[in-house]
């Protein structure tokens, strides 16, 4: 694992974002900068960290960690559903099949948890919701308790800057944008992907708590997995060996996801509104350390990030895609 000194050295080298002139049609997302060229999409995974739907800070090596984690999972799940991955020309980039995104995000939850207003726990505990996106929830659930079976809580994918909205299958279908057959297919695939994720993570002593999948349609009408899969940006992970004892004691779980930064922000009084507080370097380094630790724990591989500027390497590796 990279040392704290090495991660600290990488602070000024972070990949804040890119602006390529001749790489295709540009879409700057919260975390990734996207370029579309016909049936291909080049996705540059920056080091930006987003929380509460806002960009908060650059975290050393975060883009590489996310990209390599997603490709690890694409490989491990391609027998369940095809995915968009074509090529990985740089640690911070992936070339994928351009799809038309399905207008729904498939969220699968194995445990009742969360702090934001869209979380299962907030809905259950604060708002008293007992039917969450079509799932009947029993009385008496405790925070971080495991559901009998994982539940699917779809949400509509919000336009730039908006928050996603949870919905039931019926509500999604009522919008008339996808067919029931398409919904059922994505639902079934999502549950199987989650099962696979849970199983592989468990072997590494990690609990895959919940996650979000995005699907897209290829030009020939096939539905495939797009975006990212089982990364710390799209999923929550807890340490399995401490789960029981912490749950019994009513304590928070030990987490390896971006909750660390969310909690720092919340401690400064920021929960999404107003100006984002300044993130100190120590917090950026610790966040990076956790991302790298997550990668190594979950994949069982050593993270191969190297201290140095990311942008020039990326430019070199993407040259062949420029027109």
- Work out how close the CB of 310 gets to ligand ADP at its nearest, in angstroms, rounded to a whole number: 17
User: Which residue do the tokens 């559901």 mark?
Assistant: 147
Stretch that binds ligand ADP, among 23-31, 72-80, 243-251, 275-283 (CB under 6 A): 23-31
Alpha helices in the chain (DSSP H): 4-10, 62-77, 120-121, 169-174, 180-203, 243-248, 259-267, 281-299, 311-318
Residue with tokens 């509509």: 156
Q: Using CB under 6 A, which of the segments 25-33, 110-118, 195-203, 284-292 binds ligand ADP?
A: 25-33
Which residue of 9, 20, 29, 192 would you call a contact of ligand ADP, by CB under 6 A? 29
- Residue 38: CB minimum distance to ligand ADP, A: 12
Residue of 165, 163, 137, 140 whose CA lies nearest to 150: 137
Which of 210, 214, 257, 259 is in the footprint of ligand ADP by CB under 6 A? Answer: 214
Task: Return the SS3 of 255.
Answer: strand
**Closest separation in Å from C-beta 46 to ligand ADP:** 8
CB of 61 closer than 8 Å to CB of 7: yes
> Which residue, 34 or 37, is less far from ligand ADP as judged by CB?
34
Min separation Cβ 246 and ligand ADP, Å: 31
Contacts to ligand ADP from residues 222-281, by CB under 6 A: 226-227
Helix (H, G, I), strand (E, B) or coil at 214: strand
CB 178 within 8 A of CB 172: yes
**Residue nearest ligand ADP, CB atom distance:** 29
Q: How far is the CB of 27 from ligand ADP (least distance, A)?
A: 7
CB-based contact 161:30 (threshold 8 Å): no
Minimum distance from CB of 42 to ligand ADP (Å)?
A: 10
- The site for ligand ADP, by CB under 6 A, has a size of 16
Of residues 74 and 121, the one with the C-beta less far from ligand ADP? 74
Q: What is the dihedral of CA 140, 120, 64, 322, to 10 degrees?
A: 160
User: Binding residue for ligand ADP (CB under 6 A) from 34, 37, 317, 322?
Assistant: 34
Minimum distance from residue 43 beta carbon to ligand ADP (Å): 6
What are residue 213's DSSP bridge partners? 106
Sole window of 18-26, 27-35, 107-115, 170-178 interacting with ligand ADP (rule: CB under 6 A): 27-35
E strand or H helix at 235, and its extent? strand 235-239
Residue (31 or 167) nearer to ligand ADP, CB = 31
Three-class HEC string of 165-192: EECCHHHHHHCCCCCHHHHHHHHHHHHH
HSE-up of residue 75 (Cα within 13 Å, Cβ side)? 10
List the x/- string, 40-79, binding to ligand ADP by CB under 6 A: -x--------------------------------------
Site for ligand ADP in 80-119 (CB under 6 A): 84, 96-99, 101
Is residue 95 within 8 Å of residue 250, measured between CB atoms? no
Binding site for ligand ADP (CB under 6 A): 29-32, 34, 41, 84, 96-99, 101, 214, 216, 226-227
């Amino acid at each position: 694992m990279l040392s704290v000194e090495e991660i600290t050295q990488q602070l000024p080298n972070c990949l804040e974002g890119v602006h390529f002139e001749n790489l295709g049609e540009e879409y700057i997302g919260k975390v990734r900068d996207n370029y579309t060229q016909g049936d291909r999409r080049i996705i540059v995974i920056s080091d930006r960290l987003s929380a509460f739907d806002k960009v908060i800070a650059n975290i050393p090596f975060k883009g590489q960690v996310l990209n390599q984690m997603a490709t690890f999972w694409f490989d491990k799940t391609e027998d369940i559903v095809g995915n968009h991955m074509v090529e990985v020309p740089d640690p911070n980039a992936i070339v994928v099949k351009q799809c038309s995104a399905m207008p729904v995000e498939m969220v699968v939850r194995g445990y009742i948890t969360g702090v934001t207003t869209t979380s299962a726990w907030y809905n259950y505990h604060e708002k008293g919701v007992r039917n969450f996106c079509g799932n009947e929830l029993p009385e008496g659930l405790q925070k971080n308790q495991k559901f009998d079976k994982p539940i699917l809580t779809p949400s509509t994918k919000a336009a730039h800057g908006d928050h996603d909205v949870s919905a039931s299958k019926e509500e999604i279908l009522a919008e008339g944008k996808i067919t029931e057959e398409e919904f059922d297919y994505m639902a079934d695939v999502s549950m199987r992907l989650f099962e696979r994720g849970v199983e592989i993570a468990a072997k590494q002593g990690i609990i895959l708590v919940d996650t979000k999948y995005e699907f897209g349609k290829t030009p020939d009408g096939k539905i495939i997995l797009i975006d990212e899969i089982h990364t710390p940006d799209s999923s929550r992970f807890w340490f399995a060996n401490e789960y029981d004892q912490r749950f019994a004691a009513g304590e928070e779980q030990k987490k390896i996801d971006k909750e660390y930064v969310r909690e720092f922000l919340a401690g400064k009084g920021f929960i999404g509104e107003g100006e984002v507080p300044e993130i100190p370097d120590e917090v950026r380094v610790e966040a990076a350390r956790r991302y790298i630790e997550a990668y190594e724990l979950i994949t069982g591989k050593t993270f191969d990030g190297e201290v140095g500027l990311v942008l020039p390497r990326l430019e070199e590796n993407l040259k062949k895609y420029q027109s």
